[in-house]
């Protein structure tokens, strides 16, 4: 039976300032999707509210707008997947081996307090499944608690988009909070690469996190390796 991956994408299309659009960072989804497809995994997309997931305009420019992202946008069937994402109440977590939170600054708004996503994440984690995120996707793990009331990320090694990278991307004045500091305040052992924007992924047991858009492929490969090491 093939492994099953649940990808999480945003429903938000703008920052607090509506003149600044945001959304899903497309290549973070497409790189992971291609890795999991090559491994023969089945894949589903969910969002906090269900329905459409807008694309981050910055992700549709060089250098991150690469072959995989262009191929996705050129495929009506793939684009339809982002127009009709599932909502959390439509998802049976028992059907999935891993949950993968994608990024884009938009997720800072709708991932952290989604009770539906928290439920799915908690159930997958406590069943021994893989919880994964890339870039700002780790905002989806900020407030997820386990059945004993503890935070999932507390005491665990985690990476995600660094504040230094926000500054270099010139969005530090637009983002609603400092995600790196928010993660540290939850007791997570935050790590980052020596240089900004290079691929960096961290594995701590069943938790796999990637730092930035360039880390999506590496993060997915590490998730796939963990899943394939398990007996059928």
Q: What is the pLDDT of residue 1?
A: 86
pLDDT band, residue 89 (cuts 50/70/90) = very high
Q: What is the pLDDT of residue 5?
A: 98
Smallest Cα–Cα separation from 196: which of 214, 176, 178? Answer: 214
Q: Distance of CA 7 to CAs 35, 36, 52, 174, 201, Å?
A: 13, 11, 14, 26, 17
In whole angstroms, give the CA distance from residue 80 to residue 69: 14
In whole angstroms, give the CA distance from residue 148 to residue 89: 23
Mean pLDDT of 153-164: 98
Q: What is the pLDDT of residue 77?
A: 97
CA angle, 117 then 91 then 83, to 5° = 85
pTM flag (> 0.95): yes
- pLDDT one-digit tens code per residue, 192-203: 999 999 999 999
In whole angstroms, give the CA distance from residue 63 to residue 183: 28
pLDDT band, residue 230 (cuts 50/70/90) = confident
Q: What is the pLDDT of residue 213?
A: 97
pLDDT band, residue 125 (cuts 50/70/90) = very high
Residue 231 has pLDDT above 80, yes or no: no
Mean pLDDT of 113-127: 98
Smallest Cα–Cα separation from 123: which of 6, 2, 1? Answer: 6
The total number of residues written for the chain in this structure = 232
- Please name the residue that has the structure tokens 């439509």: 90
Q: Distance of CA 158 to CAs 28, 51, 118, Å?
A: 17, 29, 17
Tokens of 58: 């910055």
Q: Decide: 143 and 112 in contact? Cβ < 8 Å.
A: yes
Residue 149 has pLDDT above 80, yes or no: yes
- pLDDT one-digit tens code per residue, 14-33: 999 999 999 999 999 999 99
């Amino acid at each position: 039976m093939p492994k099953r991956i649940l990808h999480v994408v945003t429903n938000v299309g703008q920052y607090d300032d509506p003149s600044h659009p945001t959304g899903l960072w497309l290549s973070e989804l497409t790189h992971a999707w291609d890795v999991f497809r090559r491994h023969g995994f089945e894949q589903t997309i969910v969002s906090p509210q269900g329905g459409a997931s807008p694309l981050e305009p910055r992700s549709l420019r060089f250098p991150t707008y690469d072959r995989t992202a262009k191929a996705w946008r050129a495929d009506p069937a793939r684009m339809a997947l982002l127009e009709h994402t599932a909502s959390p109440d439509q998802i049976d977590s028992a059907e999935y081996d891993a949950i993968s939170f994608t990024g884009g600054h938009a997720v800072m708004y709708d991932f952290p307090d989604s009770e539906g996503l928290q439920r799915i994440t908690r159930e997958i984690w406590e069943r021994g499944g893989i919880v994964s995120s890339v870039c700002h996707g780790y905002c989806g793990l900020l407030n997820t608690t386990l059945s004993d009331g503890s935070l999932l990320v507390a005491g665990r090694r985690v990476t995600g988009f660094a504040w230094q990278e926000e500054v270099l991307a010139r969005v530090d004045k637009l983002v609603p909070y400092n995600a790196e500091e928010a993660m540290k305040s939850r007791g997570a052992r935050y790590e980052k690469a020596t240089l900004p924007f290079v691929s960096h992924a961290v594995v701590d047991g069943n938790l796999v996190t990637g730092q930035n858009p360039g880390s999506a492929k590496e993060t997915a490969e590490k998730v796939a390796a963990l899943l394939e090491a398990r007996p059928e």
